[in-house]
Chains A and B, each alone.
Chain A
């Protein structure tokens, strides 16, 4: 990247960050409504968005705990397994961001799918850093505002399924999975994970099928064919 391209790159990353933030915000409404339908109160839904702050884990947590408090260990296990990927993003980001002390703690909290995706898509370090912070903070603000709105509205309008909000979560997970299905191995791992989870569902407690399906990732232990050649 040359110095003359910098203002353009800056403008692009600002636009990208804000549009990602707005999209996630719109979707936080469905999280708030589903959390309340799952039996959480507004403050518990807010605690998840403020403190857990990672959408995939939050949806998994409320989806499983909707079955009752006995499912709490499985809900914690599933949300934690999904949260592992944020730790993996952090490995890449920590060098890119070059932060220490309290800034590193703030960066850790904002380490999610969206902020990572925007940061790693940039060509130079300065726009990467700008993209990370701007996306992270925009998503944090809008995700929490929309969770609050969703929780308030969700308690009043009745069953969120009438509005397809449970299906919104299914579609969102599909969209998160989609860009990762880059090759045949990835598709095979996804299919095995899905089949294992569906087959286990009738016989084991809620949440366990998702955790058990994580074992499908061990298929990646096998060396890919292209590397053997």
Chain B
């Protein structure tokens, strides 16, 4: 598979999922169990993304470095009800600063 193929296939699936949602009769998802699981899906996926992107090296091994510190700062900012953009900028600045100081 070429990189272009991967990009276009992934984009087509993403759009197809959005479009499908606009065509599916809502009652198909009305069962409380189905609703709970569909609500839980993004929670599990986003948590897994944060964990793998923040706490693993490129070989998959566990590590605590500047990215973990950035997530920590992001959590504090979120507890203080900081807006999205402030959280993102603080995360980036934390990692950049720690790396510039050679601490992580």
Residues of A whose CB lies within 8 Å of any CB of B are: 19-20, 22-24, 26-27, 30, 39-40, 44, 47-48, 51-54, 56-57, 59-61, 63, 65-67, 69, 72-73, 75-76, 78-95, 104-105, 107-109, 111, 161-178, 180-181, 185-186, 189-198, 201-204, 206, 209-210, 213-221, 223-224, 227
Contact = CB atoms under 8 A, between A and B. Distances in A.
Interface residues on B, range: 35 or more
Given A76-B10, A167-B70, A170-B70, A89 B21 contact: yes
A69 B3 contact: yes
A81 B49 CA distance: 12
Interface of B: 1-15, 17-24, 26, 29, 32-33, 36-56, 58-62, 66-67, 70-71, 73-75, 78, 83-85, 87-97, 99-100
A219 B43 CA distance: 11
Nearest to A227: B32
A193 B14 contact: no
Contact of B41 (A52, A69, A84): A84
A65 B10 CA distance: 12
Closest 5 CB pairs of A and B: A171-B91, A90-B21, A167-B95, A213-B48, A164-B95
A53 B32 CA distance: 30
Contacts of B96: 162-164, 167
Nearest to B75: A174
A214 B10 contact: no
Contact of A108 (B9, B22, B78, B88): B22
B92 A52 contact: no
Contact of B53 (A52, A173, A217): A173
B58 to A, nearest CB: 7
Nearest to A57: B14
23 contacts: A24-B84, A44-B4, A51-B11, A51-B12, A66-B58, A72-B3, A76-B13, A80-B13, A81-B41, A81-B45, A82-B45, A168-B70, A171-B73, A171-B88, A174-B71, A174-B74, A193-B43, A193-B44, A195-B51, A213-B48, A220-B33, A221-B36, A224-B36
Nearest to B29: A91
B45 A193 contact: yes
Given A91-B26, A170-B54, A210-B49, A69 B6 contact: yes
A32 to B, nearest CB: 14
B18 A86 contact: yes
A194 B53 contact: no
